[in-house]
Amino acid sequence: MNKLVIVGNGFDLAHGLETSYIHFINSFWSSLNQEDNLELINSVITINEKYLSNFPFNSILNFRDFDFKLRKYVEDSGYDFIENQYKCINNRTSGFEIVFEFKNNFFKQINLKSLENWVDIENEYYSLLKSIAKRKSSSYSGGKEKAEKEQVKNNKLAAIRLNKEFNEVKELLKSYLINKVHSKYDFVNGRIKKFEKFLSFFEIKPLNLKDSNINEKYLNEFPREDYEDLLDFDNSIITAKGKNKLKNFLKNSIYQTLFLNFNYTDSLNSYLKIIKSKSYGDYLNTEIIPIHGSLLASGNYEINFGFGDEMDEDYKAIENLNENEYLKNFKSFKYSTNHNYKRLLDFTDSTKFQVYIIGHSCGLSDRILLNTIFEHPHCRSIKVFYHKKKDSSDNFTEIVQNISRHFNDKKLMRAKIVNKSLCEPMPQDIRFTAK
Q: What is the pLDDT of residues 332-389, one digit of tens each?
A: 888 989 999 999 999 999 999 999 999 999 988 888 899 999 999 999 999 999 999 9
What confidence score (pLDDT) does residue 400 get? Answer: 97
Q: What is the pLDDT of residues 387-405, one digit of tens each?
A: 999 999 999 999 999 999 9
Distances 326 to 59, 115, 181, 185 between C-alpha atoms, Å: 40, 23, 32, 38
Which residues make beta-bridge pairs with 257?
3, 286
Q: Which SS3 state, helix, strand or coil, does residue 317 take? A: helix
Q: What percent of the chain has pLDDT over 70?
A: 95
Q: Which SS3 state, helix, strand or coil, does residue 98 take? A: strand
What confidence score (pLDDT) does residue 210 get? Answer: 54
Q: What is the pLDDT of residues 130-176, one digit of tens each?
A: 999 998 877 666 777 888 888 889 999 999 999 999 999 999 999 99
Give the Cα separation of 324 and 329 in Å (integer).
Answer: 10
Helix extents (H) in 134-242 = 144-176, 196-199, 212-219, 227-239
3-state helix vs strand vs coil in the chain, percent to 5: 50, 15, 35
What confidence score (pLDDT) does residue 154 get? Answer: 92
Burial of 199: CB neighbours in 10 Å, binned 0-12, 13-18, 19+: middle
Q: Which of 53-62, 203-212, 387-396 has the highest mean pLDDT?
A: 387-396
Q: How confident is the model at residue 246 (pLDDT cuts 50, 70, 90)?
A: confident
Q: What percent of the chain has pLDDT over 90?
A: 52
pLDDT beyond 70 at 92: no
Residues 201-212 have a mean pLDDT of 72
- Structural domain spans, the chain: 2-17+185-432, 21-182
Q: How confident is the model at residue 313 (pLDDT cuts 50, 70, 90)?
A: confident
Q: What is the pLDDT of residues 256-282, one digit of tens each?
A: 999 999 999 989 988 998 888 877 788
Give the count of alpha carbons within 13 A of 88, CB side only. Answer: 22
What confidence score (pLDDT) does residue 369 get? Answer: 94
